[in-house]
Amino acid sequence: MKIARGIWLLGLVCTTAGACNKKNGGGGYNNGGEQREDTSGTVIVTPADPNTAGTIGFFMDGWMQRKFTAPAFTEKAPPSAAAYTVTVDASTVLTKISPALFGNNTNIWMTQMTNQPKLITHLSNLNPGILRFPGGNNSSVYFWNSAGWPPADAPPKLQDANGAEIDAGYWFGGNTAEWTMSVDNYYRVLQQTGTEGIITVNYGYARYGTGADPVAAAAHLAADWVRADKGRTRYWEVGNESNGTWQAGYRIDQSKNKDGQPQIVTGELYGKHFKVFADSMRKAAAENGKPIFIGVQLLEHEPANWATPTDREWNNGVLKQAGTAADYYIIHSYYTAYNTNSNPPEVLASAEAVTKAMADHVTAAIARAGVPVKPLALTEWNIFAVGSQQMVSQVAGMHAVLVIGELMRNRYGLACRWDLANAWDNGNDHGLFSQGEPASGEQKWDPRPAFYYLYYFRQFVGDRFINAEVSGANSGINAYASTFSSGEAGVTLVNKSSSARDVQLAFKNFKPGGRYYWYVLTGGDGVSSFSRKVFINGSGPSGIAGGPADYATLKAFSATAAQGVKVSLPPMSVVCMVVEPD
């Protein structure tokens, strides 16, 4: 929601005696060095907004000021003392927060969505900002403009990584059956939920197509989608994980190919093809009079020594061919070790370590290639941990908060979690919402724990990211701080340890006002392990999983800030807090 900038702005606190670290120069929240005194004589000087990082770029275009509205609350006594201190420093804005970091993935096997009011209500409340479509590997066998039949040059059989022929299994954007989602209904969902789209076009067709020029045919198909889109979508991707052995088009039947392509895809080949796609798609966008941004796929980490030759040379080849032609770089990550029964500490530790490592890896790759820094988009992310229902647990919710906090810290431009709904598979289910399978014990579209963590984090994060430092030995606490343009400080604390922590907030360049408000999110059964339940300020689900049904109206805890800002963090908990300014 766009609002007018508040009169009371966060900034640098100094004394009238001159003990002040004032920033000179322009900027500030109101492009000025605005100052004001409070009743104690403390002077507030607004810090300058930094230049937008190249790794965020145009994904910041939708940025808006955020205004915090105090919720209804229950008075809560804070702890009398605290062993740990979190220092919140509002003197410097590290970055304005990209509005595209809270996205998610739709897919084409989760119903038409638009006629599912329960789902639409939860999704509107969540306010993800971005929804990706058609989602995942099916993008490589997706024909957006057909109701049920592929083009004549799309073969009925494709080759898997070993050369075996398998049914192509094509999907179609004009299919209106209830179990799938059509292109038209995807656009309707965006309207219903007030979100923006990011669309992945079919690159695989450029490889397995049997026409005289399969690359041109696939690029034309993508460009026609841009034309039909009529400027509704700014962000586009060419292909999905096209380096992967599991992807349609990774290996092709050369006997059916007519333009001399190699049997196995390479990064250099994909990069060459990308330029053909981008040229066709940009011409189509020009016809609509609306600019678009087109992303190119990179690998997020250094390939292992056993990786395929395609993976080992992927980034070098892609950047050599398309590093200047692409508008942004795309990566995917599922953070934890593949198909491994990871424990809670392993899952939670991955958020910080992997997010930074990916940014460092991509930065190093583009430096070696001598190509420009571009915005970075993590268009699929989740965890691969299996065996203990990790994906549907409160630990997945804690992990989600940690990931988005680290994405802010490392200045990513866009992120879309995978995905809104999937399949139960004994709890190895990435879905944020249940599809209502009987084995799950849930009702259709019941939110999983991660939904509640993302919902409250979204409510309590402002529009500018600032620094927060944790002191105290072996705290196990991660802290993420932000400011609202209406003046408040938002602080989210993640206690990863299996012991309770009492925390006091200290402030640099911010003076707490009358009250602070917070929500405490904890697991249910087995608090320090994996639980399918989440309790919020003590209120939990009525069934075997999920969270409180009244999450959107649940009262916050609140206390006055007169004796300082203190809060208790139960074991394995997340606390989302906002502190009023003086």
Instruction: Encode pLDDT of 76-134 as tens digits.
Output: 999 999 999 999 999 999 999 999 999 999 999 999 999 999 999 999 999 999 999 99
480 is a domain residue: no
- Domain span at residue 145 reads 103-459
CATH of the domain at 438: 3.20.20.80
Give the alpha-carbon dihedral of 144, 147, 152, 156, to 10 degrees: 90
Any idea which residue has 């699929």 for tokens?
Answer: 380
User: If you compute the radius of gyration of the chain from its CA atoms, what whole number of angstroms results?
Assistant: 25
pLDDT grade, residue 32 (50/70/90)?
very low
Sign, CA dihedral 387-298-355-234, equals: negative
Amino acid 45 reads V
Tell me what percent of the residues of the chain surpass a pLDDT of 70. 92
Asked if pLDDT for residue 40 goes beyond 90, the answer is: no
284 three-state secondary structure: helix
| Cα torsion angle, 109, 110, 113, 116, sign | positive
Instruction: Reply yes or no on whether the pLDDT at 18 is more than 70.
Output: no
Q: Are residues 171 and 22 in the same domain?
A: no
| Mean pLDDT computed over 46-50 | 94
Centre a 10 Å sphere on the Cβ of residue 1 and count the other Cβ atoms it contains.
8
Task: Choose one of 459, 485, 500: the last residue of a domain.
Answer: 459
Q: Which residue has the higher pLDDT, 37 or 517?
A: 517
Q: Looking at the predicted structure, is the pLDDT value of residue 66 above 60?
A: yes
Domain final residue, candidates 459, 492, 516:
459
Measured distance CA(397)–CA(432) in Å, rounded:
10
Share of the chain above pLDDT 90, in %: 90
In this prediction, residue 38 carries a pLDDT of: 55
Local structure of 527: helix, strand or coil:
coil
Residues 43 and 176 in one domain: no
CA atoms within 13 A on the CB side of 250: 22
What pLDDT is attached to residue 524? 86
The total domain count for the chain is 2
pLDDT of residue 6: 31
Q: Are residues 183 and 303 in the same domain?
A: yes
Is the pLDDT assigned to residue 375 strictly greater than 80?
yes
Same domain? For 16 and 134 the reply is: no
Residue whose token pair is 């998610």: 104
User: Which residue matches tokens 């991509």?
Assistant: 362
32 three-state secondary structure: coil
Residue 65 falls inside a structural domain: no
Sign of CA dihedral 313, 314, 318, 321: positive
- Whether 45 and 121 map to the same domain: the answer is no
**Does residue 151 fall inside a structural domain?**
yes
State mean pLDDT over 63-76: 97
**Position 22 pLDDT exceeds 80:** no
Residues 111 and 218 in one domain: yes
DSSP 465-499: EEEEEEESTT--EEEEEEE-TTS-EEEEEEE-SSS
Identify whether residues 11 and 149 lie together within a single domain.
no
Could you say which of 402, 427, 459 is where a domain stops? 459
DSSP string, 50-110: PPPPTTTGGGGTT-------PPPEEE-PPPS--SEEEEEE-SS--EEPPTTTTEEE--TTS
- In degrees and rounded to multiples of 5, residue 131 shows phi and psi of -130, 125
| Whether 103 contacts 415, CB under 8 Å | yes
Q: How many CB atoms lie within 10 A of CB 538?
A: 11
| pLDDT of the residue at 5 | 28
* Residue 367 counted as domain residue: yes
Q: Which residue has the tokens 């799950």?
A: 440
SS3 state of residue 516: strand
DSSP bridge pairs for 442: none
Q: Would you place residue 35 in the very low, low, confident or very high pLDDT band (cuts 50, 70, 90)?
A: low
Specify burial of residue 109 (Cβ count, 10 A radius: 0-12, 13-18, 19+).
middle
- Rounded distance between C-alpha atoms, residue 358 and residue 548, angstroms: 35
Buried b (16+ CB within 10 A) or exposed e, 218-254: bbbbbbbbbeebeeebbbbbbbbbbbbeebbbbbbee
Q: What is the pLDDT of residue 41?
A: 57
Q: Is 96 part of a structural domain of the chain?
A: no
**pLDDT attached to residue 43:** 67
* pLDDT higher than threshold 70 for residue 36: no
Q: Give the per-residue pLDDT at 29.
A: 41
Same domain? 26 vs 146: no
User: 236 near 201, Cβ under 8 Å?
Assistant: yes
C-alpha closest to that of 58 among 99, 28, 92: 99
Task: Assess whether 11 and 158 both reside in one domain.
Answer: no
- Look at residue 233 and tell me whether its pLDDT is greater than 80: yes
Torsions phi, psi for 146 (to 5 deg): -120, 145
Q: What is the pLDDT of residues 260-283, one digit of tens each?
A: 999 999 999 999 999 999 999 999
For residue 511, tell me if it sits in a domain.
no
More confident residue, 20 or 251: 251
The sign one gets for the Cα dihedral 542, 545, 550, 554 is: positive
Tell me the pTM: 0.93
The mean pLDDT value of the chain amounts to: 92
State the pLDDT at residue 525.
74
Q: Tell me, yes or no, whether 42 and 107 share the same domain.
A: no
Taking residue 117's Cβ as centre, other Cβ atoms within 10 Å add up to: 10
Of the pLDDT bands very low, low, confident and very high (cuts 50, 70, 90), residue 39 is low
Contacts of 455 (CB under 8 A, 6+ apart): 125, 126, 551
Q: Are 251 and 264 in contact (CB under 8 A)?
A: yes
Please indicate, yes or no, if residue 163 is contained in any of the structural domains: yes
Q: Is 123 exposed, middle or buried (0-12, 13-18, 19+ CB in 10 A)?
A: buried
Task: Tell whether 110 and 33 lie within a shared domain.
Answer: no
Cα(29)–Cα(47) distance, integer angstroms:
7
User: Using an 8 Å Cβ cutoff, are 172 and 179 in contact?
Assistant: no
What's the average model confidence in pLDDT over 228-233? 98
Whether residues 18 and 112 share a domain: the answer is no
Work out the average pLDDT over 500-511. Answer: 96
Whole-number Å distance between alpha carbons of 3 and 24: 27
Q: Is 263 within the bounds of a domain? A: yes
Q: How many CB atoms lie within 10 A of CB 162?
A: 7
* Three-class SS state of 532: coil
Once rounded to an integer, what is the mean pLDDT over residues 506-519?
A: 96
Tokens of 375: 């915005």
CA dist., res. 332 & res. 417, Å (int): 10
Chain-centre distance of CA 185, in angstroms?
A: 23
